[in-house]
Amino acid sequence: MERYIECINPATGQVWDTLKIPSAVEIEIMAAKAREAFQDWSVTPLAFRKQIVARFGELVQENLEHLAQLLTKETGKPITQSRREIRQADRRIRFFLDIADRYLAPEVAYEDEKVREEIAYEPLGLIVNISAWNYPYNIGYNVFIPALLAGNVVLYKPSEYTPHTGLEFQDLFRSAGLPPHVFTTIIGNGQTGAYLTERIPADGYFFTGSHATGMKILEQCRKRTVPIQLELGGKDPAYVANDVKDLRKVAAALADGAFYNNGQSCCAVERIYVHTEVYTDFLKHFVQEVKGFILGDPRNESTYIGPLTRAAQLDILERQVADALSKGARLLLGGKRIPREGNWFEPTVLADCSHQMEVMKEESFGPIIGIMGVKDDEEAINLMNDTPYGLTAAVYSSNPDRARRIMEKLNTGTVYFNMCDRVSPYVPWSGRGHSGLGLTLSYHGLRAFTRTKSYQLLKSN
Ligand code: NDP
């Protein structure tokens, strides 16, 4: 296994730190200590677990500026978006704290004069949580907050692009009073993740990342009879119907949905279908909107688009643009790398796209959007569903009934009406097909970290 991670600032290409990756033996020791810690943590009163999680949330907010600057340095995320992520993630903590008593308490499922039957929710045990870099707070909290509240212990492997943020989580949990080894950050790279899934016998593996890595994880965990959850990528579509009231407003919302965080969101809008009656006007408004985005140093308050986090993504974007242009797409904006140190790509708008093009079929995960015209709702539905992915889909229309008829036919875990690129703690976050297996968030996403035990009790004999 490699022994070090080089931390590179994506805005400058400069290495700013080098961190040692724990060895296999060290990982084994961390896992053994975590297992030991489970004995006490799993029987700690929920009120105490809630208190610690709440304190962790407060400490994160108290250190917001430092953490946001760090996130920007690690990922290149514009500073205003880093702060927003950290603030918004807190909503997830508060949601899980609010519902924990109700959904972790045992339930009476049946009772008569002779028997009483109950369902109890017990923690799974040792959770391996392998995470992505694009929203480490949001996607981290989705897993380790409910896991800890439910009485599990967690081995958390952040992405190699956000190791410092991962180490901050560990420090802040300790400062919040979490007993040692209940939450352990294991920094490392793909090999570290592979080691954790292949060699560490955990009681649940919760992964967020790409479909390609998700498939490796399934393979690595294939002989384990424990929950394996995969939150994977997307190729999320949006449809603009011909009855939208304010096309400029819709274009602005979709431009934000496509380019926020430089398009590096699992639920970013990645392809747009526009009714032909409003197609030309929509393109005009959309391009105008994207031209208004300020690109630059992610530390600047006014920056909306910074560098890409991963240098490797530049090749993918370049390939998608060349492929689309060779097949007849019209380049309305951008299309190339920006020649400066770091990972920079121009915000790119491609019109007149088709499903022969990679940009309409494969996850772009960058500042690039494919747009095409459709003649009616039926064609829009068929094209939106023409993908192996199934994370989210958005419908814009002034008619809620028409939109609902469309949404009911879309094969995704989440559908949006007149909104997009949004995650709420109250409803499950789940992908279909290549977008994943299982779910996070909502009360289901708390119970996902438990296993049921049925009590069948005779009242008298
Ligand atoms: P990757 O799949 O590249 O990596 C995810 C995590 O897996 C990282 O911690 C990575 O380590 C680790 N890893 C890499 N190889 C292995 C392996 N063989 N076994 C175990 N772990 C491994 O994804 P990204 O981090 O680049 O994240 C972007 C992807 O995540 C996009 O596809 C995006 O759509 C998806 N995503 C999905 C979300 C959802 O809720 N559905 C939310 C957010 C992102 P390392 O980084 O060190 O290589």
Give per-residue pLDDT as tens, 400-442: 999 999 999 999 999 999 999 999 999 999 999 999 999 999 9
The yes-or-no verdict on residue 461 having pLDDT over 80 is no
pLDDT band at 1 (very low <50, low <70, confident <90, very high): low
Which of 89, 65, 75, 197 lies closest to 143 in space, CA to CA?
A: 89
207 found inside a domain? yes
140 and 159 in contact (C-beta within 8 Å)?
no
Same domain, 366 and 409: yes
CB of 131 within 6 A of ligand 1: the answer is: yes
- 454 within domain boundaries: yes
Beta bridge partners of 115: 458
Compute the residue count for the chain.
Answer: 461
CATH number at residue 279: 3.40.309.10
Q: Are residues 443 and 416 in the same domain?
A: no
Q: Is residue 417 part of a domain?
A: yes
> Beta strands 439-440 and 429-430: pairing type?
antiparallel
Residue 459: its pLDDT value, please? Answer: 92
Which position has the higher pLDDT, 260 or 224?
A: 260
Q: What is the pLDDT of residue 82?
A: 98
> Can you read off the two tokens belonging to residue 280?
């030309």
pLDDT digits (tens, 9 = 90+) for 331-350: 999 999 999 999 999 999 99
Instruction: Look at residue 230 in the predicted model and tell me its pLDDT.
Output: 97
Parent domain of 347: 236-424
Please name the amino acid found at residue 250. Answer: V
Residue range 379-393: average pLDDT?
A: 98
3-state secondary structure of 255: helix
Instruction: Determine if ligand 1 sits within 6 Å of the CB of residue 270.
Output: no
pLDDT over 70 percentage in the chain: 100
* pLDDT for the residue numbered 351: 98
pTM for this model (two decimals): 0.97
CB 343 within 8 A of CB 314: yes
- Asked whether the beta carbons of 139 and 131 are under 8 A apart, the reply is yes
The reply to whether 129 falls in a domain is yes
Task: Based on the fold, state whether residues 272 and 226 are members of the same structural domain.
Answer: no
Q: Verify that 172 and 186 share a domain, yes or no.
A: yes
Q: In this structure, are 143 and 14 located in the same domain?
A: yes
Q: Are residues 278 and 138 in the same domain?
A: no
Is residue 161 situated within a structural domain?
yes
Query: Do residues 54 and 83 share a domain?
Result: yes
What pLDDT does residue 222 have? Answer: 80
How many Cβ atoms sit within 10 Å of the Cβ of residue 266? 28
Q: Ligand 1: which residue has its CA nearest to atom 13? A: 190
Average pLDDT over residues 27-40: 98
Q: Is residue 430 part of a domain?
A: no
Q: Are 219 and 90 in the same domain?
A: yes
- Ligand 1 atom 43, closest CA: 266
Check whether residue 256 and residue 226 sit in a common domain.
no
At 460, the pLDDT band (50, 70, 90 cuts) reads confident
- Please state the φ and ψ torsions of residue 382, each to the nearest 5 degrees: -60, -45
184/272 same-domain check:
no
363 and 227 within one domain: no
First to last CA, the chain: 61
Is residue 429 assigned to a domain?
A: no
Number of domains composing the chain: 2
Q: How far is the CA of 11 from the centre of ligand 1 (A)?
A: 21
Q: What is the pLDDT of residue 223?
A: 84
134 lines ligand 1 (CB under 6 A): yes
Whether the CB of 197 sits within 6 Å of ligand 1 = yes
Say which residues have a Cβ less than 8 Å from residue 280's Cβ, sequence separation at least 6.
none
Instruction: Give the tokens for residue 225.
Output: 């009879």
Ligand 1 proximity of 216 Cβ (cutoff 6 Å):
yes
Spatial CA neighbour of 186 closest among 131, 262, 264: 131
Q: Which atom of ligand 1 is nearest to the CA of 160?
A: 47
Q: Mean pLDDT score of the chain, rounded to an integer? A: 97
Assigned domain for 135 exists: yes
Q: Are residues 170 and 249 in the same domain?
A: no
CATH number at residue 210: 3.40.605.10
Burial class (CB in 10 A: 0-12, 13-18, 19+), 452: exposed
Evaluate the CA torsion angle 14, 19, 24, 29 in order and state its sign: negative
